[in-house]
Amino acid sequence: MSRADRPLRVGILLRNRHDGPGGLEKVLEIVARAMPEKNVELKFYALYPPKYGDFTKEFGSLTYLPLSPSLSLLQKLMPAKLFRVLQKNYVKKHGMKLFRMMQADQLDLLITLDLSKQFLGNYEFLKTFKDEANIPILSWVHSSLSSNSPKITQAVKDRIHLFDGHLAISPGIAKELENDYGVKNVDVVFNPVNYAELIERDPRKFIYIGRIDANKRVDSLLVQLQKLVGDWSLDIYGSTGKKKKDQAFIQKIVDMGLADKVTFHGWKSDVWSEVKSAGVILLNSKKEGMPLVLVEAMMRGISVVSSDCPTGPADLVSSGENGWLYPVDEEVKIAVILQNILDEKWSLASSRDIQKSVKLFRSDNYLNSFIKKISGLRRNRF
């Protein structure tokens, strides 16, 4: 079969680290599972094996940069942190081996998942690969670029001409690419979410789903919840990623006097099978890309109370309609919003209306749009 007659063959270069289950990992699972039926053959590549590998189970093809025999032996003998240093040096010297393997796969186009420090480290590999393979390269940006330092921003801007196009998962990220990096060829593709039935509505029941880290600011979220008066509860589904840190977080809940209000469930592989009823999902992040968990909640008719962080929430939430937003640096408004809900001064929108507000994100709509955009960049070289 000639290249012109076979399915569109798309390579996806993973990030250096995939430490745990998140929105990006879930999107890649959905896309990998569905693409074969859309006549698209996906091939995934990684310079480093992902630390969290469960999301790769749906991948039909995943190729790592092979380690040398001596380095493979040292991996078994050395502490993980020390081996990581050696591995980084090995990648710098031998990373082109992976790109040669990619070239042998005769891809029609390549998608990278990063436009920050990692992209800079891979730039020479990518440039050589593009010169030799002569195929389009796209970036697929899954998080706000606002945290890039001015130095990194300028360095990326100087090299961004390498890409033939950019896929952004939110209008906010698209604006960052256009305004801060001077690119014009940006398509907004959002993120896919599978259809879900509405769940039971309970306005006094709040939920949080996600990582527990400095960006998500769950600790300061709890500080605001301490101020609430009335009957309410919060279920937390997530983890710090470390057992000891999870235990410390649980103790913090107790120390704050919230043990009878807040339940820590830890990380769940299928969190939505655990959530039987809810009224509001909370998000207090400093930055996001397109917070998939909000879309999943809204698909189930759950209202949103979220920081108006860069980027994503403002593209989903219309304050007073399907939820409420507050400025990132005004966390005190969390308590104000939730107290008004508890006091029945503010009413939640109907579950059906909230679900309708995210119909654009349904997987079937998303996949057709995604394929159309990447297919349009395929070069006719046959």
Give residue-wise pLDDT tens across range 240-284: 989 999 999 999 999 999 999 999 999 998 899 999 999 999 999
Mean pLDDT of the chain: 90
Predicted pLDDT at 42 = 93
Mean pLDDT throughout 133-143?
91
90-113: pLDDT as tens digits: 999 999 999 999 999 999 999 999
The length of the chain is 382
Q: What share of the chain in percent tops pLDDT 70?
A: 96
Mean pLDDT throughout 167-173?
88
31-82: pLDDT as tens digits: 888 888 888 899 999 998 887 777 888 888 999 998 888 888 888 888 888 8
What domains can be seen in the chain, in order of their start residue?
Answer: 8-192+363-375 (3.40.50.2000), 200-361 (3.40.50.2000)
Is residue 190 over pLDDT 70? yes
Predicted pLDDT at 379 = 46
What is the band of 213 on the pLDDT scale with cuts at 50, 70, 90?
A: very high
9-35: pLDDT as tens digits: 999 999 877 766 677 888 888 888 888
Predicted pLDDT at 365 = 76
Is residue 2 over pLDDT 70? no
